[in-house]
């Protein structure tokens, strides 16, 4: 598997620039995950306040607003744990190039969530991130400098 | 897709474990936390540590975190080269030998102003030398005991002096501790040095070397041999029979009174100069000198309190009949000299 | 494919060398090497250590080699289940062995004899099991030939057993020598004047004089001697052999070898249970520190999990090197004897007060530093040597390492790996010297038992040690039962 990781540069080298971008985005997600783990999980800061502030925004779809207020706010600590876990999953996935396509889908969902609950100044950044992740999913960015190449050689299919 | 699901599940399992085992103790430099180096037996559930902690926390609201120290000398060495990262504010369990041999490796705070034991020490004739010492600037004594030979009452050994240890009937029946690795062993070595002239002491040690059952690396091994009835007499503490009487309801042990007097072992506490919460450390130093804390230490640590009046009405009262040697602080050179003599005796007699 | 992966195998060897040499490197980085050694003291220390360890190792190996051929012929599965009890002396704290042996003697023979006796009791069971394992893997097929040609006893030993098992004998020899070198309490207690050995010299340097530079120099010297000795001995050629199905030749239910070995196990086990029953009659079960015990047990399970995980990573690396046929024999003799040095290096690298998982990981690394190579050499490498021809075929057919690992290597070494992992886990439950030296603040079961023993509560220590062993042996017996098919 390790051999395939390095071999991929030789056979799918045209994806190398995208892979480098993928690794950078993965590092960003990982950093966010560690920060959020420290702030929201270990320090038990109240995430529900952030969500309540976000409810007053106008970008949120109605159904999502109901979902947040009915389901998420009463169990804000579980929500925070799941969010951090998903950020970590996407970050590790991008860094090592494993299951990048499904992780990109997850990442896009996360970014949509941040657009909905974040401020308008951050919206452009998250849109850009969505575009990057769409590209990762489309070209299969995990195949170059990633473990997806090993599985792609064996199993083919759209998930690699 | 299956691999992706497994990957997510594995990641969340690890995160869950990290969440469950997360550290809730708070940051080290929190002003409401006090970190104390103490021995494992002190901080175990059967030691005085937990009760002292609960009482202190209830009174002051300051949370105590005990740091297990394997050995005072080793701990002080680690503190010496850890400097900024060292987490402890104060240290308990240093005896007079540790202070002389190891305490100069780190810097200590001046706590002479909070020494509440002056009157207690004054009233104890065996601790009179302690009053004139400089150690009170940096260290506070909080309990003491005496090293003695302990035997089973049914054995009926009538030993009254160090010379009696060389009686023929005691050949291979007495367990000692090695002075190089054990505090009671070192006490015995210096007890001999103090009692006899140098030549007599060397000869006595040579005779003991061949006459003894063994020289264990630690008190626990020697005491284990004694309890296992491999030996009839063991070098231990004067308070050991009290433990058996109180905890095991066994009155078959007693400590032998020697006419030379029994050497004293005093335990001290000190505050490190790089303490993060020095105020709390000073409060704890004052606390362990209080009557309640001294009672807890006496009954759980099986050591005598600095204030002898606290032993009245307890099993420890019976110890007041023993004769002790006056407390003495040896210099590092004296200790090293006698350890060297001991090492040579052991190497050459083997 | 093999050529492309060669650099990777060298990289892995480099990483392993860095890992196993890290403790001494850390100490030397923090403390300057101090060669201010008292030559006469050092000579006495090395002389004592050398004499005690060589005599013990020779005695253990000679007696083991006498018993092993007979033990390998046994068919009784119940007896095979009892045999791991022979590991008890090497797993339990040395104070238990000391008390059991002392209780047998009216006048214990202090001195070299006494030290050798206690070391022999500690290591004989382990050496017999390791050599039995190697014998079963390598030599059993000759049993039939021996019977047909009626080969004499001397010829059997000189021409068949010793050449076949030479490397394993050397391994066991080195394990015992190292164990004796690293022991402090046994020579000090049982040795009289011979109590000054190398570990005592290191202890004096560290604890009494605070001279870590000298301690590091001694540890480095010790390591180098063992390394050179092992490397030189390893270069002597040996005869490899194919896989043995020793079941074919198992015909007896009992023989003289078994009687002697059961006598050894029985002596220790009976002594241990005698102490245990004595302890049970003396303690008060209502005041038994259950909560602290349960906490220590759960922490030890976590430690055990992390230790086995680290072991798995190191094992896969070693298997990869073996698969790639990279010359790495010197790695096996990279043995670090001093627990004090390893403990202090871990203390210097990791924070003293850390999260429980970091604490457990610190100790897991330490346990692997001490035991992994030794256990690999004892239990896994003999099996690997057996399947070398199969791996040659796998390489010819261009199977990747992963494919070979899954289909060829793992099914055949699974049992040995589980035994090794079990032994490592058991060490996790009984280890305390390394944990104390590393300054770990988490309460593990070894520390809990040591605290009991250090404070008048020897009886409680005995009882808890028994409970821990029963739980651990039961757990791993169950794991073994579920994972390995009965033949």
Q: Output the pLDDT for position C436.
A: 82
Instruction: Report the candidate in C216, C444, C440 with the shortest Cα–Cα distance to residue C347.
Output: C440
Give the Cα separation of B30 and B276 in Å (integer): 8
Instruction: Name the one residue in this structure whose structure tokens are 């291979």.
Output: B172
Give the Cα separation of C96 and C144 in Å (integer): 42
Q: Which chains contact B through at least 3 pairs of Cβ atoms less than 8 Å apart? A: A, C
**Contact state of C8 with A1 under an 8 Å Cβ cutoff:** no
Buried b (16+ CB within 10 A) or exposed e, A97-107: bbbbbbbbbbb
Mean pLDDT, rounded, for C119-138: 84
Task: Name the CA dihedral angle for C36, C40, C42, C43, rounded to a multiple of 10 degrees.
Answer: 140
Q: Which of residues 289-328 of C touch B (CB under 8 A)?
A: 289, 291-292, 302
Q: Is the pLDDT of residue B308 over 70?
A: yes
Q: Output the pLDDT for position C177.
A: 83
Q: Which of A20-29, B111-120, C142-151, C369-378 has the highest mean pLDDT?
A: A20-29
Q: Is the pLDDT of residue C487 over 60?
A: no
* Residue with the larger pLDDT of the pair C193 and C227: C227
* Residue with the larger pLDDT of the pair C303 and C235: C303
Q: Output the pLDDT for position C486.
A: 46
Q: Which of residues 52-91 of A touch B (CB under 8 A)?
A: 81, 84-85, 88-89
Give the one of A81, A84, A159 whose C-beta lies nearest to B1's C-beta: A159
Mean pLDDT, rounded, for A9-15: 82
Mean pLDDT, rounded, for C363-367: 93
Nearest CA in chain C to B40: C451
Please list the residues that pair with B92 across neighbouring strands: B269
How far is the CA of C293 from the CAs of C290, C460, C473, in angstroms? 5, 11, 17
Contact between residue B167 and residue B158 where contact means Cβ atoms under 8 Å apart: no
Q: Is the pLDDT of residue B151 over 50?
A: yes
Dihedral over Cα of C45, C51, C57, C63: its sign:
negative
Q: Is the pLDDT of residue B242 over 70?
A: yes
Q: Output the pLDDT for position C245.
A: 46
**What pLDDT, in 10s, does the model give residues A100-150?**
999 999 999 999 888 888 777 888 899 999 999 999 999 988 888 888 888
Q: Is the pLDDT of residue B274 over 50?
A: yes
* Residue with the larger pLDDT of the pair B230 and B270: B270
* Residue with the larger pLDDT of the pair A25 and C280: A25
Q: Is the pLDDT of residue A39 over 80?
A: no
Give the one of A42, A88, A151 whose C-beta lies nearest to B15's C-beta: A88
ipTM over 0.90: no
**Contact state of B22 with A41 under an 8 Å Cβ cutoff:** yes
Count of beta carbons in the 10 Å neighbourhood of residue C153: 9
Q: Output the pLDDT for position C242.
A: 40
Give the Cα separation of B349 and C84 in Å (integer): 40
Instruction: Report the candidate in C91, C90, C476, C472 with the shortest Cα–Cα distance to residue C298.
Output: C472
Report chain C's mean pLDDT, rounded to a whole number.
78
Mean pLDDT, rounded, for B290-309: 90
For chain C, say whether B199 makes contact (Cβ under 8 Å).
Answer: no
**What pLDDT, in 10s, does the model give residues B41-93?**
899 888 999 999 999 999 998 999 998 887 787 788 777 776 555 578 999 99
Q: Output the pLDDT for position C237.
A: 44
CB neighbour class for C388 (10 Å; exposed up to 12, middle 13-18, buried from 19)? middle
For chain A, say whether C356 makes contact (Cβ under 8 Å).
Answer: no
Alpha-carbon gap: A5 to the closest alpha carbon of chain C (Å): 12
Domain boundaries, chain B: 28-145+265-320, 146-263+329-349
For chain C, say whether B247 makes contact (Cβ under 8 Å).
Answer: yes
Nearest CA in chain C to B345: C193
Q: Output the pLDDT for position B240.
A: 93
Q: Output the pLDDT for position B48.
A: 94
Contact between residue C433 and residue C343 where contact means Cβ atoms under 8 Å apart: yes
Q: Output the pLDDT for position C248.
A: 46
Mean pLDDT, rounded, for B260-278: 91
For chain B, say whether C51 makes contact (Cβ under 8 Å).
Answer: no
Q: Output the pLDDT for position A93.
A: 93
**What pLDDT, in 10s, does the model give residues C87-118?**
778 777 777 777 778 777 767 777 788 888 88
Q: Output the pLDDT for position C224.
A: 75
Res. C1 pLDDT band, cuts 50 70 90: low
Give the Cα separation of C276 and C154 in Å (integer): 43
Q: Which of A70-84, A102-116, B23-37 has the highest mean pLDDT?
A: A102-116
Q: Output the pLDDT for position C240.
A: 42
Alpha-carbon gap: C116 to the closest alpha carbon of chain B (Å): 14
Q: Output the pLDDT for position B349.
A: 59
Count of beta carbons in the 10 Å neighbourhood of residue A38: 12
Count of beta carbons in the 10 Å neighbourhood of residue B35: 25
**What pLDDT, in 10s, does the model give residues C312-323?**
999 999 898 888
The token pair that represents A21 in the structure block = 């971008």
Give the Cα separation of C446 and C304 in Å (integer): 12
Q: Output the pLDDT for position B132.
A: 64
If DSSP codes are grouped into helix, strand and coil, which group holds residue A41? helix
Q: Is the pLDDT of residue C328 over 70?
A: no
Neighboring chain A residues of C402 at a CB cutoff of 8 Å? 1
Which positions in chain B have a beta carbon within 8 angstroms of at least one beta carbon in chain A? 1, 3-4, 7-8, 11-12, 15, 19, 22-23
Res. C208 pLDDT band, cuts 50 70 90: low
Identify the structural domains of chain C with CATH numbers, from first to last: 1-23+284-487 (1.10.3720), 31-282 (1.10.3720.10)
Share of chain B above pLDDT 90, in %: 40
Contact between residue C471 and residue C297 where contact means Cβ atoms under 8 Å apart: yes
**What pLDDT, in 10s, does the model give residues B169-225?**
998 899 999 898 889 999 999 999 999 999 999 999 999 988 888 888 888 888 988
The architecture CATH gives domain B28-145+265-320: 3-Layer(aba) Sandwich (3.40)
Mean pLDDT, rounded, for C359-366: 92
**Contact state of C103 with B22 under an 8 Å Cβ cutoff:** no
For chain A, say whether C5 makes contact (Cβ under 8 Å).
Answer: yes
Give the Cα separation of C417 and C344 in Å (integer): 29
For chain A, say whether C295 makes contact (Cβ under 8 Å).
Answer: no
User: Looking at domain B146-263+329-349, what is its CATH homologous superfamily?
Assistant: Periplasmic binding protein-like II (3.40.190.10)
Please list the residues that pair with B139 across neighbouring strands: B270
Q: Output the pLDDT for position B208.
A: 93
For chain C, say whether B16 makes contact (Cβ under 8 Å).
Answer: no
**What pLDDT, in 10s, does the model give residues C46-90?**
788 888 888 999 999 999 988 888 887 777 666 666 777 787 787
Nearest CA in chain B to A104: B4
Q: Is the pLDDT of residue B279 over 70?
A: yes
For chain B, say whether C206 makes contact (Cβ under 8 Å).
Answer: yes
Q: Output the pLDDT for position B147.
A: 94
Q: Output the pLDDT for position B27.
A: 47
Mean pLDDT, rounded, for B239-245: 92
Give the Cα separation of B257 and C18 in Å (integer): 58
Q: Which of A33-42, B274-283, C156-165, C455-464 has the highest mean pLDDT?
A: B274-283
Give the Cα separation of B229 and B217 in Å (integer): 18
**Contact state of C195 with B67 under an 8 Å Cβ cutoff:** no
Q: Is the pLDDT of residue A63 over 80?
A: no
For chain B, say whether C95 makes contact (Cβ under 8 Å).
Answer: yes
Neighboring chain C residues of A2 at a CB cutoff of 8 Å? 8
């Amino acid at each position: 598997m390790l051999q395939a990781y390095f071999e991929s540069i030789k056979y799918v080298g045209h994806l190398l620039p995208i892979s480098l971008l993928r690794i950078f985005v993965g590092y960003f997600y990982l950093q966010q995950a560690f920060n959020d783990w420290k702030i929201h999980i270990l320090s038990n800061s109240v995430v529900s306040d952030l969500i309540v502030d976000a409810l007053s925004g106008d970008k949120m779809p109605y159904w999502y607003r109901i979902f947040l207020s009915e389901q998420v706010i009463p169990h804000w600590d579980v929500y925070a744990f799941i969010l951090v876990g998903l950020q970590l999953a996407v970050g590790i996935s991008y860094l090592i190039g494993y299951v990048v396509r499904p992780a990109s889908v997850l990442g896009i969902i996360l970014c949509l969530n941040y657009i909905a609950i974040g401020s308008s100044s951050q919206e452009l950044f998250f849109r850009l991130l969505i575009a990057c992740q769409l590209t990762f999913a489309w070209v299969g960015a995990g195949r170059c400098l990633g473990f997806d190449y090993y599985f792609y050689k064996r199993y083919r299919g759209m998930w690699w | 897709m299956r691999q992706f699901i497994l990957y997510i599940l594995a990641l969340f399992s690890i995160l869950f474990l990290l969440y469950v085992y997360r550290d809730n103790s708070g940051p080290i430099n929190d002003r409401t936390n006090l970190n104390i180096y103490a021995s494992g037996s002190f901080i175990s559930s059967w030691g005085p540590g937990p009760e002292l902690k609960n009482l202190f926390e209830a009174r002051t609201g300051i949370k105590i975190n005990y740091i297990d120290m394997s050995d005072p000398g080793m701990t002080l060495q680690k503190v010496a080269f850890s400097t900024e990262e060292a987490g402890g504010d104060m240290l308990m369990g240093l005896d007079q030998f540790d202070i002389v041999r190891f305490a100069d490796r780190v810097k200590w705070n001046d706590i002479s102003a909070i020494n509440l034991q002056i009157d207690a020490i004054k009233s104890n004739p065996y601790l009179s030398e302690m009053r004139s010492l400089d150690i009170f600037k940096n260290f506070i004594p909080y309990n003491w005991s005496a090293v003695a030979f302990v035997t089973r009452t049914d054995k009926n050994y009538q030993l009254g002096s160090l010379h009696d240890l060389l009686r023929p009937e005691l050949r291979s029946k007495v367990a000692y501790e090695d002075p190089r690795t054990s505090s009671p062993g070192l006490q015995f070595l210096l007890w001999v040095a103090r009692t006899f002239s140098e030549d007599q002491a060397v000869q006595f040690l040579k005779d003991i070397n061949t006459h003894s059952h063994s020289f264990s690396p630690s008190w626990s091994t020697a005491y284990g041999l004694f309890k296992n009835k491999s030996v009839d007499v063991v070098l231990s503490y004067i308070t050991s029979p009290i433990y058996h009487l109180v905890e095991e309801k066994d009155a078959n042990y007693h400590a032998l009174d020697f006419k030379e007097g029994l050497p004293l072992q005093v335990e001290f506490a000190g505050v490190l100069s790089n303490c993060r919460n020095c105020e709390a450390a000073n409060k704890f130093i004052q606390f362990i000198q209080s009557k309640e804390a001294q009672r807890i230490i006496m009954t759980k640590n099986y050591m005598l309190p600095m204030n002898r009046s606290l032993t009245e009405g307890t099993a420890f009262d019976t110890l007041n009949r023993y004769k002790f040697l006056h407390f003495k602080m040896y210099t590092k050179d004296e200790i090293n000299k006698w350890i060297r003599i001991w090492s040579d005796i052991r190497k050459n007699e083997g | 494919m093999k050529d492309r992966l060669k650099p990777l195998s060298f990289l892995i060897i480099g990483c392993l060398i860095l890992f196993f040499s890290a403790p001494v490197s850390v100490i030397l980085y923090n403390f300057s090497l101090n060669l201010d050694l008292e030559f006469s003291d050092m000579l006495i220390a090395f002389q004592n250590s050398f004499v005690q360890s060589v005599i013990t190792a020779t005695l253990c190996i000679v007696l083991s080699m006498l018993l092993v051929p007979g033990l390998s012929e046994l068919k009784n599965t119940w007896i095979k289940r009892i045999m791991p009890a022979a590991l008890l002396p090497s797993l339990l704290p040395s104070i238990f062995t000391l008390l059991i042996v002392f209780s047998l003697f009216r006048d214990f023979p202090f001195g070299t004899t006494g030290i050798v006796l206690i070391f022999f009791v500690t290591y004989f069971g382990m050496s017999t099991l390791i050599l039995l394992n190697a014998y079963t893997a390598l030599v059993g097929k000759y049993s039939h030939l021996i019977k047909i040609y009626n080969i004499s006893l001397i010829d059997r030993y000189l021409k068949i057993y010793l050449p076949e098992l030479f490397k394993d004998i050397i391994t066991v020899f080195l394990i015992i020598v190292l164990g004796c070198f690293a022991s402090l309490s046994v020579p000090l207690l049982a040795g009289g004047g011979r109590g000054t050995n190398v570990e005592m010299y290191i202890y004096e340097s560290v604890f009494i004089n605070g001279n870590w530079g000298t301690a590091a120099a001694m540890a480095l010297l010790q390591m180098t001697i063992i390394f050179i000795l092992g490397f030189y001995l390893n270069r002597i050629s040996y005869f490899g052999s194919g896989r043995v199905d020793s079941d074919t030749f198992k015909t007896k239910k009992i023989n003289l070898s078994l009687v002697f070995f059961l006598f050894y196990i029985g002596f220790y086990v009976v002594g241990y249970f005698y102490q245990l029953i004595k302890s049970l009659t003396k303690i008060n079960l209502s005041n038994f520190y259950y909560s602290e015990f349960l906490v220590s047990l759960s922490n030890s399970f976590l430690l055990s999990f992390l230790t086995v995980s680290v072991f798995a990573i190191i094992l896969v690396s070693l298997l990869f090197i073996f698969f790639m046929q990279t010359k790495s024999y010197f790695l096996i003799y990279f043995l670090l004897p001093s627990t004090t040095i390893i403990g202090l290096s871990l203390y210097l690298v990791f924070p003293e007060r850390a999260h429980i998982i970091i604490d457990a990981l610190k100790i897991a690394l330490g346990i692997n530093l001490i035991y992994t190579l030794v256990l690999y050499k004892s239990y896994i490498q003999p099996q690997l040597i057996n399947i070398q021809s199969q791996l040659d075929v796998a390489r010819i057919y261009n199977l990747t390492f992963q494919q070979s690992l899954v289909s060829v290597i793992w099914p055949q070494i699974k049992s040995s790996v589980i035994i090794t992992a079990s032994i490592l886990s058991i060490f996790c439950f009984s280890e305390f010297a390394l944990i104390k030296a590393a300054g770990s603040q988490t309460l593990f079961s070894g520390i809990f038992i040591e605290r009991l023993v250090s404070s008048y509560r020897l009886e409680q220590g005995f009882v808890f040690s028994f409970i821990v062993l029963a739980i651990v042996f039961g757990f791993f017996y169950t794991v073994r039962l579920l994972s390995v098919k009965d033949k």
